[in-house]
Structure 1
Amino acid sequence: MDFSLNEEQQMLQDTVARLVRDAYSFEQRELFRQSPQGFSSELWQQFGDLGLAAVPFAEEVGGFGGNGVETLVVMKELGRGLCLEPYLHSVIFAGGLVEQLGSAEQKADLLPQVASTRLQLAVAVDEPQSHYQLNDVQTQAIACEGGWILHGRKSVVVGGQGADLLLVSARTAGQNLDETGVSLFLIDPDSPGVTRRDYHTIDGRKACDVFFESVQVSAAALLGETGQALSALRYQQGRAIAAQCAEAVGSMEAACTLTLDYLKTRKQFGVPIGSFQALQHRMVDMHIELDQATSMAILAACVAHEPDSAERSRAIAAAKVVVARAGRFIADNGIQLHGGIGLTWEYVLSHHAKHLLMVARQFGDDDHHLQTFSQLMDNV
């Protein structure tokens, strides 16, 4: 098979790489991380101006009609630069949910704004007890005259601290863990009764817990049909996982490059430590893991936009397992080959390691996806 990029994909990669290279030195990233919004507003606007946020959306809603491969191209470069901007959560995950579930009016109103980065979205589906199960929803939405009243809590909403709208899953019918009865709502985080508690995650990004106490929303806030959001949530989370795998590969490539450069320059006994055969073998092992992760990320990207099926779900679950384990291996070995400097906050490798640790757990850890893969194989 030919895995080379076509001319348009290569131009897209060059554009993102140049943007990240010019705007995202490690020192600049630290300034962005410490800002109130947790990322660069100027760079985020450039994503809109250059059309990068429009890549995954259909042409009829103002997008470029890109597929999983174009998403992979963008996300790899963002991972290489450890970019903090909410591309994955606002554009890929939340934007995909609006595109799949939204009415014609909702899509016409929201998607052009998301594609231009004038509107930032965040997806609030995780709860303290849910442990990666999208159907484990205790947040309640009770029907009332003209709309709904929400009660509950969502945890670790990445990008939620600065989002203009939250996509919130809530149970409108059935019992906890039921496959039906989960609905999705568009919630203004400034609405009465909504409280956000912000914090930094281990990899420097900002997230929040969101609390809903008698939050009243109109009927127009419902996204899709009542009680039928679970399949769309799983499908779009699959697209987000494929994009995240690509982002992790970019981060792993950067970590391998940093480690190799260090082995070539750090000297012991008057020679570069990279001349020691034992360290060469470990560097080779890191590249083997990187190659395997890259192959699985490409597979996930190729199936991400296909119709929902057990085969698609198996491929994405397998990719997440391989990428998560490769990320941990590369992070651990990169730190060990660097020695103490690899753990310091002032050195970029430690931030790649923290990000890869976060990737290994977000949207489900490798044990969760290995179990998912096993269950899907049982159903063949």
Structure 2
Amino acid sequence: FIVSARTSGLRRDASGITLFLVDAKTPGISRRAYPTQDGTQAAEISFAQVRVTKAQALGGIGEGLNLLSRGVDVAIAGLCAEAVGAMDALVKLTVEYLKTRKQFGVPIASFQALQHRSVDMLVMLEQARSMAIYAALMAGEADPAKRHQAMAAAKIQIGRSARFIGQQATQLHGGIGMTMEYKGGHYFKRLTMIEQQFGDADHHLRLLAASGAAIAA
């Protein structure tokens, strides 16, 4: 495991955080696996009197925050790409359903109001795709401030698009969109989890606002 731990300073200090490479079989480490709401797996890892040495430190002692934040930024870029894949599949699934589901003797895809809603889904998908590509390009940015801003902006759009597309897909499918047997709902669950991981839209809006204030100052 790569474990972050405070080795000096106060709780909110930027310095004093160190990353350690810890063998998962080290005495004192216990794990409890559990399923998440979207069907994936997570684990709660507990440490009881686990001892580490300086040789296990990644980077300098007390200088792990920059490495940790870079890892989070790369993870956000990866989540954005995964979300776009799920949104793309959900849009295609919805459009195909509209083409095959009939009402009043015709496919409901022929109804103009539903066509408009489908186009709105596509617009939100392409906005998310653009920001995911931007996040991927900026994941290697050496300037932490620019990289953080890019990831925050991407995560905001991904969250907004994911919620919109998921809600529209559920509504356009009708009752079947709410069933456990239909894959559309599982895409929406995963998108909802992605929206919350590493901070939701509100969290990243606050980060952008704070970074903007810092730049202005």
Shorter-chain TM-score: which interval?
Answer: over 0.9
Partner-residue secondary structure (3-state), 1:379: helix
Please tell me whether residue 279 in structure 1 is matched to residue 91 in structure 2: no
2:204 — aligned with what?
A: 369
Please tell me whether residue 201 in structure 1 is matched to residue 36 in structure 2: yes
| CA displacement 1:56-90 (0-9 Å, x = unmatched) | xxxxxxxxxxxxxxxxxxxxxxxxxxxxxxxxxxx
Identity fraction in percent:
52
Indicate which of 240, 249, 253 corresponds to 2:75: 240
TM-score, structure 2 normalization: 0.95
Q: Distance in 2 between matches of 1:252 and 1:272?
A: 23
| CA displacement 1:145-166 (0-9 Å, x = unmatched) | xxxxxxxxxxxxxxxxxxxxx1
2:51 — aligned with what?
A: 216
Partner-residue secondary structure (3-state), 2:50: strand
Q: Extract unaligned runs of 5+ from structure 1.
A: 1-165
Task: Show structure 1 runs of 4+ deviating over 3 A.
Answer: none
Q: Distance in 2 between matches of 1:204 and 1:361?
A: 15
1:299 — aligned with what?
A: 134
2:156 — aligned with what?
A: 321
Q: Distance in 2 between matches of 1:247 and 1:329?
A: 16
Shift of 1:376: 0.9
Indicate which of 147, 150, 153 corresponds to 1:312: 147
Q: Distance in 2 between matches of 1:208 and 1:254?
A: 28
2:100 — aligned with what?
A: 265
Q: Distance in 1 between matches of 2:45 and 2:144?
A: 32
The count of aligned residue pairs is 215
Q: Distance in 1 between matches of 2:25 and 2:167?
A: 41
Partner-residue secondary structure (3-state), 2:2: strand
Contact 1:193 1:214 in 2 (8 A): yes
| CA displacement 1:261-280 (0-9 Å, x = unmatched) | 00000111111111111111
2:179 — aligned with what?
A: 344
Shift of 1:224: 1.3
After TM superposition, the structure 1 = structure 2 runs for residues 1-380 of structure 1, keeping only pairs within 5 Å, are: 166-380=1-215
Contact 1:235 1:308 in 2 (8 A): no
Shift of 1:319: 0.6
1:128 — aligned with what?
A: none
Letter in 2 for 1:228: E
TM-score, structure 1 normalization: 0.55
Partner-residue secondary structure (3-state), 1:214: coil
Q: Extract unaligned runs of 5+ from structure 2.
A: none
Shift of 1:179: 0.7
Shift of 1:257: 0.3
Letter in 2 for 1:302: L
Q: Which has the higher contact order (CA 8 A, sep 6+)?
A: 2
| CA displacement 1:332-370 (0-9 Å, x = unmatched) | 110111112112221111111011001101011111111
Q: Please identify, of 257-266 and 242-251, the stretch whose mean Cα deviation from structure 2 is larger.
A: 242-251
Shift of 1:320: 0.4
C-alpha RMSD over aligned residues: 1.1
Q: Distance in 2 between matches of 1:289 and 1:349?
A: 17
More helix by share: 2
